[in-house]
Amino acid sequence: MSNPSLLVLAGDGIGPEVMAEVVKIIGWYGDKRGLHFAVEHDLVGGCAYDAHGTPLTDATMAKAQAADAVLLGAVGGPKYDSLDFSVKPERGLLRLRKEMDLYANLRPAQCFDALADFSSLKKDVVAGLDIMIVRELTSGVYFGEPRGIFKEGNERVGINTQRYTESEIARVARSAFELARRRGNKVCSMEKANVMESGILWRDVVTEVHQAEYADVELSHMYADAGAMQLTRWPKQFDVIVTDNLFGDLLSDLAAMLTGSLGMLPSASLGAPMENGRPKALYEPVHGSAPDIAGQGKANPIACVLSFAMALRYSFDQGDEAARLEKAVEQVLADGVRTADLLGEDGRTPVSTSQMGDAIVAALDASLT
């Protein structure tokens, strides 16, 4: 049987630096655990525009469709700000999400004990935090029509349309309920049913799916603005949060900072199962391309590493090996190894991007003894 395939799209800015550490870890799994992957590299984002005049070529899109999973670093940077909207680096990422139909974005927010002091909230509020936000990713206001900037009379009008179908809501709700069954068995659905018709439909459909298929899972509903407040008041009340594209974008970034650093947080975007039974999937860190530190060896690779751990769990049914990698990261942090973004005021010297990767590999080695 052929090895599972991984398409690596390192992207722009710090993307290639953090992805190099993931490739190092992929190699470790082949050498030490017999988990071999067929890895192919290609371009996305600004580097693809520089090479081909488009942020994602049709050939790369075809490779992504065929791969068992896609690993992405980051895209964008100020040098591309003046490009036409249609060819901005981010359009490559949006095309991947849309054409692969990656409708469920999984954004964990986990606070490692060693980093609890880095949160802007009190330690007792965030210590041990482990929640999952499931964001609908391929519909809603980012994709709805009509959209654009139009002239009405003597002024311009910007229009974006919030649009959801029953089936789009139902499938992301099922993803959330399935995840909850493997976690704390609790889902909170967030929308704005008090002021938006799409919110009313969202609440109705999530309730219908729950009653018909997942009555064993505890379901609650909350307005998204109230949910933002509750995430900062007592985030550990939640297990799985499911919400739409716009609110999910906002709430997941809010939850990210509860943990202390965007450089720590992975994500998975999952779609329908392929012929081999695996879901179409793209894994990427939450952070951006950070062009201000690109090429300096300062980037924290942990979010990208943990994104690969999610790939092990959700695309390759290697939950034990995913846990091994996550525990290795936790051990490295407990040992006090820090990139610059994780340093407090204790005067320690930060490690480089590659040194953090080496430390994680060493912890993986230690897990075998």
Q: What's 20-66 look like in SS3?
A: HHHHHHHHHHHHHHCCCCEEEEECCCHHHHHHHCCCCCHHHHHHHHH
Task: Give the pLDDT of residue 118.
Answer: 79
Of all helices (H) and strands (E), which one includes residue 74? Answer: strand 69-74
Q: Write the pLDDT tens digit of every residue in 249-300.
A: 999 988 888 887 667 889 999 998 877 778 899 999 988 899 999 999 999 9
Contact (Cβ atoms closer than 8 angstroms) between residue 272 and residue 284: no
User: Distance from CA of residue 248 to its chain's centroid?
Assistant: 11
Q: Which of 57, 82, 93, 86 is nearest to 288 (CA)?
A: 93
Of all helices (H) and strands (E), which one includes residue 213? Answer: helix 197-213
Q: Could you tell me whether strands 186-191 and 218-223 are parallel, antiparallel, or unpaired per DSSP bridges?
A: parallel
Question: What positions carry a catalytic annotation?
Answer: 142, 192, 225, 249, 253
From CA 331, how far away is CA 284, in angstroms rounded?
22
Task: Give the pLDDT of residue 112.
Answer: 85
For residue 145, give Cα distances in angstroms to 148, 191, 255, 305. 9, 20, 29, 36
Task: Give the pLDDT of residue 347.
Answer: 62
What are the φ and ψ backbone dihedral angles of 304, each rounded to 5 degrees? -70, -40
Domains and their CATH numbers in the chain: 1-107+263-369 (3.40.718.10)
Contact (Cβ atoms closer than 8 angstroms) between residue 161 and residue 146: yes
Provide the H-helix boundaries in 220-318: 224-233, 245-258, 302-314
Q: Which of 34, 62, 26 is nearest to 283 (CA)?
A: 26
Mean pLDDT for each consecutive 10-residue tract of the chain (369 residues)? 92 97 98 97 98 98 96 96 94 93 94 82 87 95 94 96 98 96 96 98 98 98 98 95 96 84 85 82 93 94 96 94 96 93 76 97 96
Task: Give the pLDDT of residue 213.
Answer: 98
CB atoms within 10 A of CB 346: 7
From CA 324, how far away is CA 90, in angstroms rounded?
33
Task: Give the pLDDT of residue 88.
Answer: 96
